[in-house]
Each structure stands twice: as C-alpha cells, then as structure tokens.
Amino acid sequence: MAAFRNREFLMPRSPRLIVSLMIASVAAASLAIGPAAAQMAKTPETKALETAPSEKAVPGSKAQVQLSFAPVVKRAAPSVVNVYASHVNPRGTTRSAMDEFMRRFFGEDGSGRGGPPGERAQRSLGSGVIVDESGLVITNNHVIANMNEVRVALADRREFEATIVLRDPRTDLAVVKIKSPTGGLVPMPFGDSEALEVGDFVMAIGNPFGVGQTVTQGIVSALARTQVGSSDYQFFIQTDAAINPGNSGGALVDLHGQLVGINTAIYSQSGGSHGIGFAIPASMVRAVVETAKGGASSVRRPWLGARVQSVTPDIAESMGLDHPTGVLVASLQAKSPAEEAGLKRGDLILTVDGKVVDDPEAFGYRFALKGLSGATQFGILRGTNRSTLSVKLGPAPETRPRDTLKVRTRSPFLGATLVNTSPAVAEELQGDFPADGVAVSGVDEGSVAARAGLQKGDVIVAINGMPIATTKDIERVTRNSLNVWEVSINRGGAVLTSVFGG
C-alpha cells in the first residue's frame, strides 16, 4: 500500500528534511473530566488561572502540575479529519499517437518501466482540519498533489467525497470542500500564531504511521525557521511535539484549542520523530482559507518588482550594523511598486509594517501576507540614514496574454507547458524574466522534456539559432520534424545550449 511506500521513503541514511504523507482513519476517543479534576478546578491556584487566562506562568503548585490537557483535546480533536486522495488514469486499448510514441521509447507510462495496458492508480494519505461550517478543510498540498479524487473521514467515522477547491504549492497548502455535509461539522477556530513565544505549550493532532488519530504535546522550540526548504514561503513554527509520517495536514493547537499551525514537515535521520517538527503558521493558513472562501481557485499575492538578497556579516559590517539583519535590494523592475515607492538598489529593508525581517524568506513571508490593496510600510536603511517608504500593494500585471502551450509533438519540448513571460508569470515562477520571452511553467514527470533536462522556470532563448519571443514561435517550429534541435535556455541568468537528435 502507499502507506508502506511512504514509510520507506521517510527512512533516509543521512539527516534530511522529510515531508510526510499519511492516512488518518480513527475516531477521537471520548474524553471527560472526572470528579477529582472538577474538585481540582476549585483550588485557589486554578481560580487564579481562570481569572487571568491570557497570562503565561510556570506551574506554582502540585495541583497545577496535575492539570490535564484533556479538555483542550476534546474541543480540538473533532475538527481534525483524514484525507484520502487518489488519481486514477484508465487506459483503454485505443492509443493516441503520443501514447504510442511514449510506449515505444519510454515504456507504458513514460517512466521507462513498461507494463501491460490497464488502469493505473496513485494514492496519497493525509490529514486535514475543518475550518468552516460549510465543509472547507485545509490540508497540505503535497497530500493531494496530482490527485483528482478526494475523500474525507471525520473523527466520528463518517466519510464524504470532497472536491479540490484550491491548491497553493508555494505554501504547500490546499483547500478541499466536503460534498453535501450532513451537519455536525466542528470547525476549529484560528489562533494568533504571531503571539506564540518559544516555550509555549502546543499539541499536534494527526495520524502518525496510520495508527489512528493521535495527540502529542510539546512546546514551541523556535519561531521563524526559514531554512527548511519544503515551500517557497518558509517561516515555520518549530516544535518538539512528536510529528511523524502521517501528521501532514494535521493541526498544531494551542492551549485554547485554537489552530496555530498546520503540521507539514519533520527533520529526521530515521523517518521518525526526533523532536524537530515544522508547522505553517496560522497567519498564512488563514490567508489561503480566506482566498478559498472568496471563490478563487489560486492565491494571488502582492507584487513588489524587486529582487532581494541576504545580508552577510561582511555586508553588515560595511553598513555599520552590529549584526546581519534585513534584506538588500539587488535589482528593481521598471514601473514596479518598488520603483514607484522610491526604493533603490543597495537599500536595506529592515522591517515590514514594523516586523523585523532577517532574511529573504522572512521578508517574502511578511510581504505575502499584506493582501492586494492599500499599502505597506518598509523601514529602510540607505547609507547611514533610516527612513520609511510606503509601498503600494497590488497583484503583478499580466502585460500580455500567456498563450499557454502544452507541447504534444515529437520534440525536446514534449511534455512541457510553456507560457509567454510577464510580471505575473515572473512572480509565480520566482524568476527575473525578459519582457518578451517564453518560460517553462511545468514539466511532466518522466516526459521527453524532463529527460532533455528542461526545468520549471527556464526561459527558451532560441531554437536552431532562431530567437524565441512567444509560444507561437515554438508552436511553429515544433510542427516540423527536425533532425537536430539546438536549444538555448536562460536558467538563473546563465544561457545554456544543448543539442538533441530528431
């Protein structure tokens, strides 16, 4: 089963980041507070806690040490669900020309493995959290990536079909909606992830290793972790609450039973928990959920039109800083919000609306949360002068039609999806693209384009010496059966040229 394949995948020989997939299928146990606990609640110490629930303090008595997390679990557990995702690709006896080409040269499914015709299925297993009474469920994108069928199992064992409402690979979040819920859904309220402090108690709820719904407890070990590498917007909550393969998409909960994060990754040597787990903060989760509630199928974020880089110790010393902080403006796009706000190359951005940013990942996260209207304030250092600039918020413009081209003819581009460049495309693909060009927006796994080495974000510069400006140029070239293909691409500012046989 897929669960065993995932488990095997999550046991590397050396330390690495592990993104877990899971199946969650067991109902939450019924929890109650007994007479002893009720009596305990009447002690002076617990009365003091009740009158000041927002104050943080270490236990001051034996009675406080014996207090239970059970009431919090009882509130939160019914909101955590199991997500079953699958992709079924039926194959009949009739083949298209492309199917036959892929079968002859790369095997039955384009992977080189071959095999008889028949139905092929992929399956993925994970958790999710109900965030709205209408049946909206937030989960990790990697749980449903490439899937077309989703089922959701509630903690009380009811199961429903669900539709995929929104996918956001850049945050590794996705939203699905339960079809025709019969009532009784318990949405989990959002907590304030910005108010979390290192040392706060949290609980992780999910289905580790497929054993059934499980609750683990720990503390917030660190905040604003940016070197995790599981999404574009890295600003994770780190916790030592046990998170294992199977917890992906589950809830990280505070002591008020509120959602403060979505568990998404672990760092492990063996595939199991070593006390280093990561969760996407609720502030980002809320933004994705609100987008889904508004009816959008994708998340749009504000466009800055500038590229920033990290501040090294040497740069910090040259700028008179006592330690590296902020992000350095490396380049600006013409007529962008950054240029219009007065930002200049070499400026150091220290804060976004008063929130300190220490690296490009933290800056990207803070800026992405600002929405698509109004303005945000950058605290900057230019030379020795500190000032504040107001940056207008809005989406990146689509300055020309994308004219998306899915290449299906025999060529080095077979299996690639190509689009005309624009600021909107550059923002989505995180690249500095020319105004007139064609970018690779996707490459099918195992396809000819993948084997040729094409990557998402590449810009096609020329084919056989002919400059490429639009997808129509490539469509025109690929109609011909060429014996030799000389392809030049721009990848991260470097132009690479390769020659392929026809």
Q: Which position among 20, 142, 193, 283 bears the catalytic label? A: 142
Pairing of strands 438-443, 375-382: unpaired
Q: Which position among 124, 127, 248, 283 bears the catalytic label? A: 248
Radius of gyration of the chain (CA): 26
β partners of residue 137 = 130, 176
- 153 CB-near residues (< 8 Å, 6+ apart): 24, 25, 81, 82, 84, 159
Q: Is 285 helix (H, G, I), strand (E, B) or coil?
A: helix
Using alpha carbons, select from 383, 418, 414, 391 the residue that is nearest to residue 402. 418
First-to-final CA distance of the chain: 40
> How many Cβ atoms are within 10 Å of 255's Cβ, its own excluded?
16
- Buried/exposed code over 448-482 (b: 16+ C-beta within 10 A; e: otherwise): bbbbbebeebbbbbbbeeeebbbbebbeebbeeeb
- 54 catalytic? Reply is no
Q: How far is Cα 456 from Cα 236, in angstroms, rounded to an integer?
A: 25
Q: Which position among 168, 172, 240, 347 bears the catalytic label? A: 172
Return phi, psi of residue 270, to 5°: -120, -10
- 327 CB-near residues (< 8 Å, 6+ apart): 308, 309, 310, 311, 348, 349, 357, 359, 360, 363
> How many Cβ atoms are within 10 Å of 39's Cβ, its own excluded?
10
Q: How far is Cα 191 from Cα 371, in angstroms, rounded to an integer?
A: 19
Q: How far is Cα 31 from Cα 34, in angstroms, rounded to an integer?
A: 10
Alpha carbon 294 to chain centroid, angstroms: 20
Q: Judge whether 390 and 364 are in contact, CB under 8 Å.
A: no
Q: Which helix (DSSP H) or strand (DSSP E) does residue 288 occupy?
A: helix 282-293
Half-sphere exposure of 244 (CA within 13 A, CB side): 22
Q: Judge whether 171 and 233 are in contact, CB under 8 Å.
A: yes
Residue 361 token pair: 């990942």
Q: How far is Cα 192 from Cα 223, in angstroms, rounded to an integer?
A: 13
Using alpha carbons, select from 421, 489, 487, 486 the residue that is nearest to residue 455. 489
- 248 catalytic? Reply is yes
Q: Is 31 helix (H, G, I), strand (E, B) or coil?
A: coil
Query: Which residues are identified as catalytic?
Result: 142, 172, 248
